[in-house]
Amino acid sequence: METQQPDSTPSVQPEDAFSLGAEKTGNLSKFSPTNTSNSQSQWQQTLKQVVSILDQLPTYLGSFIDNNKQAILSIVFILSALITVKILVAVLDAVNGVPLLAPIFEIIGIFYAIWFTIRYLLKSESRKELSLKVSAFKQQLLG
């Protein structure tokens, strides 16, 4: 006959697993209604602070923009220039991807350069006319 030996591992009851030894040590405090109301009041105070900050956000942003208007405009202009260059490069890559379109544009450019040279650069009076047109254009742009 065989005899069964008692199990050496302590058995844990579900009640014991959640008590965390409060009965043994007596150090753990249980939640009371005052702790939950205190927690709720802390949340309400935090919420009030967040709401007050969000209420004052437009005035903070307005004063920041007024104080740094030149720097903000410079950054906006630089970013818009970068975006424009990226878009231009993308369009040129798309045009270069179309067969026969790039060589046609090259031929058009060569013919325009020949026409411009013949029209404005060969004769003295046509160079003076070009100079007057350029100075009038500058005057329109600069005021």
Q: pLDDT truncated to tens, each residue of the chain (143 aa)?
A: 555 555 555 555 555 445 454 455 555 555 555 556 777 888 999 999 999 999 999 999 999 999 999 999 999 999 999 999 999 999 989 988 899 988 899 999 999 999 999 999 999 999 999 999 999 999 999 97
The full set of domain ranges for the chain reads 98-143
Among 101, 99, 82, 100, which Cα is nearest to 90's? Answer: 82
Separation between Cα atoms, residue 108 and residue 95, nearest integer Å: 15
Separation between Cα atoms, residue 133 and residue 140, nearest integer Å: 11
The 3-state DSSP class for residue 106 equals helix
The answer to whether the pTM exceeds 0.85 is: no
